[in-house]
Amino acid sequence: MIYAVVNTKGGVGKTTTAVHLATMLARSGEALLIDGDKQKSAASWAAWRSENSGSLKLGPSPTTILLGGKAILSEGKTLASKYNYTVVDVGGRDSAGLRSSLILAQMAIVPVGASNLDAAAMTDLLELIELSRDYNPDLAVRVLLTRVDPRTKDTAEMLDFLKEQKLEVLTTKVCERVAFRRAIGEGVIVQELGKDRLAINEMEAFFEEVQHENKT
Ligand SMILES: Nc1ncnc2c1ncn2[C@@H]1O[C@H](COP(=O)(O)OP(=O)(O)O)[C@@H](O)[C@H]1O
Ligand SMILES: [Mg+2]
């Protein structure tokens, strides 16, 4: 199974989502995490992870590699065939990389924040998804609301917008929580950090939903 975590917008939680998904998948099989972003955030996370592996008690790790542009499709395909699960953390600005990941993947997970800016930035992405359907007609697309502030009405408005766009939205919402930032900085996931039960519940619920969607 190959997942691509995509959005043309930065700072929406792509890397956070990708490393959590890849590490949760690594519990049940060999998982590959492709860092498709020149900023190398997922690769940095993996480096911090190996530095901390002596002092912290960690679960299984995904194998992390860096790929960019069209290599995400060509190299990615060969590599993905050797793993049970592949997750691509796609760089927002690398349009060749983004297109390649949308052709490579079986499921695109689109983290979005709940602001007008997030909605406006989705037009480009929706066009790219439509184009990729010529090569990858079975691509499943699921939107994940991230960095949610439950005190505002923004989320309800964003959900209306997504519905208008006929996008399938996961029920799980990931809220803005310090634990996510901290986990990434230490090369772990919130479950391994073990400090924020709500953050853990959100990630586990997201994971269950994604796995359930694969079976239906
Ligand atoms: N749910 C969250 N709660 C708090 N901070 C978050 C959350 N998701 C992401 N962040 C933080 O926001 C910033 C951008 O997240 P990141 O996952 O790197 O996004 P992207 O890969 O889309 O640019 C990072 O500093 C990250 O730690
Ligand atoms: Mg990123």
Q: What is the mean pLDDT of residues 78-87?
A: 98
List the domain range (segments joined by +) for residue 42. Answer: 2-215
What whole-number percentage of the chain has pLDDT above 70? 100
Residue with tokens 């006929």: 166
Q: Residue 108: name the closest of 134, 80, 87, 79 by CA.
A: 87
CATH number at residue 140: 3.40.50.300
Ligand nearest to the CA of 40: 2
**Cβ–Cβ under 8 Å, residues 12 and 114:** no
pLDDT beyond 70 at 216: no
**What is the CB-side half-sphere exposure of residue 81 using CA atoms within 13 A?**
5
Confidence band (pLDDT; 50, 70, 90) for 185? very high
Q: Tell me which of 52-56, 132-136, 170-174, 185-189 is least confident.
A: 52-56
Percent of the chain with pLDDT over 90: 85
Q: What is the pLDDT of residues 136-169, one digit of tens each?
A: 999 999 999 999 998 888 899 899 999 999 999 9
Q: Model pTM greater than 0.85? A: yes
**99 contact partners, CB below 8 Å, separation of at least 6:** 128, 131, 132
> Which protein residue's CA is at the shortest distance from atom 26 of ligand 1?
181
More confident residue, 120 or 75: 75
- DSSP letters, 100-160, are HHHHH-SEEEEEE-SSHHHHHTHHHHHHHHHHHTTT-TT-EEEEEEEEE-TTSSHHHHHHH
Residue nearest atom 9 of ligand 1, based on CA coordinates: 13
* 98 HSE (CA, 13 A, CB side): 21
In sequence order, what are the beta bridge partners of 148? Answer: 175
Average pLDDT over residues 91-109: 93
| CA torsion, ordered 140, 11, 93, 82, to nearest 10 deg | -50
pLDDT at 214: 77
pLDDT in tens, 21-31: 999 999 999 99
Alpha helices per DSSP H over the chain: 14-25, 41-52, 71-80, 95-104, 116-120, 122-132, 154-164, 178-185, 190-193, 197-215
Mean pLDDT of 48-52: 95
Residue owning the nearest CA to atom 17 of ligand 1 = 13
Give the count of domains, the chain.
Answer: 1
> For position 128, what pLDDT does the model report?
93
Nearest ligand to the CA atom of 41: 2
Q: How many residues are there in the chain?
A: 216
State how far the Cα of 111 lies from the Cα of 75, in Å rounded to an integer. 25
Read off the amino acid at residue 154. Answer: D
Which residue from 180, 188, 198 has its CB within 8 A of the most atoms of ligand 1, so it is best to mutate? Answer: 180
Lookup: tokens for 61: 């790790």
Contacting residues for 160 by C-beta, under 8 A, at least 6 apart: none
